[in-house]
């Protein structure tokens, strides 16, 4: 499951807050309750652990652990049942000075179903499971080829990650003096085949057996991409992974971006395209109907106050407190909120123009 930018932002913020806290001893409590697991069994287990904690030699550590467990138990009792995706809960003394006590408890229903049950007391909270949820699991491969060059990259979430580029030894179309046209054509054709074979080998080494690979998107100027695919170069297993073939004008970094832009139909369900779509809509309106959009914190705040905002666009680079404030204001007037990453060109543009923008419900021009 791919998290939305809003889900990822909230989870990232939650993890970031807990990462700030360290215990002096093993007195910070982490509890993970899997989806479908009886929360009452966890409460009973924690009650038993309170008894075990009474054997801790250090009086201050013993008190902090027992009290943290008690706060955790009281918190879990607020839930009638385990939330749909399970629950991650954390408690402990976060006082900055030795001998003082400032007990806090946090919990979150994760956006991805929990499958692991954990109870642990440590010097820091156990957060690896939550961090892992934020990692993009599924990827696409982007392959660009012409008779001269080839580029291989991964599309991971919204980010194009270049893997390698290859340059062929194919001579130009104009033959050198002293060679017959037929011989020169054979040399050139042999170099082209060597190039395709090299690209196919790179694809095999990179992609074969990669379970997280959802599909391969091929592209390039001219017929080379079809020659590579239709010839006896790429393995049958990898051919089955090819989900789209696109005509593009460039190779290199520009070509990879163009291939992504032209793969909208294939990636329609992916978040990267949803993000690009909403930002493209904003920029199109800005160009043609500027009264249908606003941008900059002051202008957008005014539009929110007037109830004019249909979709609020917030850069992930915006301060967390500001995001929370604007989200709450949007909620009050029924506006949709989109948190936009800076990993796409459109997201970078939003960041550079003030980090806050809106598509409006009506023309204010």
Query: What does the angle CA 8 – CA 10 – CA 14 come to, to the nearest 5 degrees?
Result: 115
Q: Which long-range contacts (CB under 8 A, 24 or more apart) does 197-202 make?
A: 197/233, 198/150, 198/166, 198/168, 199/143, 199/145, 199/150, 199/152, 199/166, 199/228, 199/233, 200/228, 200/233, 200/234, 200/235, 202/150, 202/152, 202/164, 202/166
Taking only the tens place, the pLDDT of each residue in 7-40 is: 888 899 999 999 999 988 889 999 999 999 999 9
Number of residues written out for the chain:
365
Query: What's the whole-number mean pLDDT along residues 103-116?
Result: 94
What percent of the chain clears pLDDT 70, i.e. is strictly above it? Answer: 96
Indicate the CATH number of 5-134 among 3.40.190.80, 3.10.20.30, 3.30.960.10, 3.40.50.300: 3.30.960.10
Q: How, if at all, do strands 213-220 and 139-145 pair? A: parallel
- Alpha helix segments (H runs only) across 77-167: 128-134
Beta strands 159-167 and 87-93, pairing class: unpaired
- Look at residue 1 in the predicted model and tell me its pLDDT: 58
Neighbours of 306 (CB within 10 A): 12
CA dist., res. 29 & res. 204, Å (int): 46
Tell me the CATH number for domain 275-360. 3.30.1330.30
How confident is the model over 278-334, as pLDDT tens digits? 999 999 999 999 999 999 999 999 999 999 999 999 998 898 889 989 999 999 999
Return the structure tokens found at 62: 């013993």
> In whole angstroms, what is the distance from residue 120 CA to residue 129 CA?
13
Q: Is 359 helix (H, G, I), strand (E, B) or coil?
A: strand
CA distance 292 to 312: 12
- 167-176 pLDDT, tens digit each: 887 766 655 5
* Domain-wise residue ranges, the chain: 5-134, 139-262, 275-360
CA distances (Å), origin 348, targets 222, 322, 341 = 31, 18, 8
**Domain over 139-262 is classified CATH 3.30.420.60:** yes
CA distance 27 to 153: 45
Return the bridge partners of 29, or none.
91, 121
How is residue 186 annotated by DSSP?
H
pLDDT at 326: 93
Yes or no: say if 345 and 158 are a contact pair by the CB < 8 Å rule: no
Beginning with the edge strand found earlier in the chain, give each strand of the sheet holding 336-340 in spatial order.
293-295, 356-360, 309-315, 336-340
Between 300 and 271, residue with greater pLDDT = 300
């Amino acid at each position: 499951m791919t998290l939305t930018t809003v889900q990822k932002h909230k989870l990232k913020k939650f993890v970031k807050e807990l990462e700030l806290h360290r215990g002096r001893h093993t007195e910070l409590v982490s509890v993970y309750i899997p989806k479908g697991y009886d929360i009452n069994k966890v409460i009973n287990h924690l009650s038993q652990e309170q008894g075990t904690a009474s054997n801790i030699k250090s009086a201050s550590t013993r008190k902090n652990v027992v009290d943290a467990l008690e706060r955790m138990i009281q918190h879990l009792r607020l839930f009638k049942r385990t939330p749909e995706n399970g629950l991650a809960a954390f408690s402990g003394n976060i006082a900055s000075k030795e001998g003082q006590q400032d007990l806090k408890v946090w919990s979150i229903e994760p956006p991805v179903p929990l499958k692991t049950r954990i109870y642990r007391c440590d010097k820091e909270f156990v957060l690896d499971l939550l961090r892992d949820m934020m990692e993009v699991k599924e990827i696409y491969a982007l392959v660009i080829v012409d008779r001269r060059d080839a580029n291989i990259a991964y599309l991971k979430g919204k980010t194009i990650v270049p893997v390698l580029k290859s340059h062929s030894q194919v001579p130009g179309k104009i033959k050198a003096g002293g060679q017959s046209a037929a011989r020169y054509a054979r040399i050139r054709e042999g170099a082209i085949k060597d190039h395709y074979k090299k690209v196919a080998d790179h694809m095999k080494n990179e992609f074969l057996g990669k379970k997280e690979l959802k599909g391969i998107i091929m592209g390039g100027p001219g017929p080379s991409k079809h020659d590579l695919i239709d010839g006896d170069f790429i393995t049958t297993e990898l051919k089955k992974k090819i989900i789209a073939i696109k005509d593009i004008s460039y190779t290199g970094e520009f070509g990879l971006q163009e291939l992504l832009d032209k793969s909208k139909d294939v990636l329609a369900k992916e978040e990267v395209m949803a993000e690009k779509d909403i930002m493209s809509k904003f920029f199109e309106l800005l160009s043609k109907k500027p009264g249908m959009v606003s941008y900059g914190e002051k202008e957008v705040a005014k539009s929110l106050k007037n109830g004019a905002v249909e979709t609020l666009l917030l850069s992930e680079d915006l301060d967390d407190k500001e995001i929370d404030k604007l989200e709450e204001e949007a909620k009050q007037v029924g506006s949709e909120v989109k948190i936009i990453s800076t990993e796409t060109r459109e997201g970078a543009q939003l960041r550079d123009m003030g980090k806050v923008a809106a598509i409006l419900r009506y023309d204010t021009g």
